[in-house]
Every structure is written in structure tokens, then in C-alpha cells.
Amino acid sequence: MAKLKIVKFGDETLRKVCRPVDEITPKITRLLDDMIETMRAANGCGLAAPQVGVLRRIAVIEVEEGVVYELINPKIIAYSGEQKETEGCLSNPGKWGITKRPAAVTVRALNRYGKEYELNGKDLLARAICHECDHLDGKLYTDVQIKSVEED
């Protein structure tokens, strides 16, 4: 495994729509492993492929230590409720904002073995799923930010 370089805000890669993964190859599984290592090294709870310069629909999430969700070609299929919470991004270190996100979401994705599954997330997991799926569509948390944490 290798720690990857995280792309920072201002890099146009973060504004591009990612391509779906057509086949899960050893290169894709290696990318998943490297993304997990990179996310953990940066003390993050999620990381999307464009954040490491790869324009593919892949994300990893770990909001509970040791429980990693690998999302390949994720699609949010249901959402409910609302939460307004502080959110940040590994691509925008040291910056935070209040965002409005669903309180609960269901996402359908493939795992590293090509098996389709559904993940139901609430609270922080729901926010992380939305945040990482947004990255795959070239959207940033600042696009849904209600206010910057630095504002009074």
C-alpha cells in the first residue's frame, strides 16, 4: 500500500465528474487500499478518488474505527430528514463550514468484489456518504455550506 497525495481546493480535478468503474481490476483494489491508508494517515473519515487525482466513481468511508465502507459506483437511492452540522474536507485542511444534509441516506454501490450492496447511514455516516458522493460529481462541501465556522 502507498500513501497518496491529496489534491487541494483550487485544483480543477475536484470539479470534474468522475467516470464509472466498468471492471474491478487489481489496479482498482490497490487504489482502494491506498485510499484507505491515505484517509487514515490524514485523520479523515472519508476520501473520494478525485481527491487523489483519479477521476473514477470510488470512495472510502470510515466513521467508526475499523469499519470501512468501500463504495464503487455509488448512487444515493433514498434520503430523509435534515441535519445541519459542521463539515470539513481533507482537500481543504483547517477549514470548516455548517452544511445542510439529509439525516439518513441509503446508497447502493459495489464492493471490491463486484457485489452490489446497500448501505443505510444516519447522522455522521449519512453526511460522509453525501460528501463523498458529491466529490464524484465535482461538488464540494462549500457548495452546500450554509455558513463558514469562522463567521460569527
73-101 pLDDT, tens per residue? 999 999 999 999 999 999 999 999 999 99
Which of 62, 70, 87, 132 does the annotation list as catalytic? 132
Domains in the chain with CATH codes: 12-148 (3.90.45.10)
Cα–Cα distance for residue pair 67/74, rounded to 1 Å: 18
- pLDDT tens string 46-61: 999 999 999 999 999 9
- DSSP string for 76-99: EEEEES-EEEEEE-TTSTT-EEEE
Cα–Cα distance for residue pair 8/49, rounded to 1 Å: 13
**What's the mean per-residue pLDDT of the chain?**
96
The total of other beta-carbon atoms located within 10 Å of residue 121's CB is: 22
118 is a catalytic site residue: no
Is the pLDDT at 105 greater than 70, yes or no?
A: yes
Give whole-number Cα distances, 30 to 2, 26, 40, 131, in Å.
9, 6, 16, 23
Q: Residues with Cβ < 8 Å from 84, sequence gap 6 or more?
A: 98, 99, 100, 146
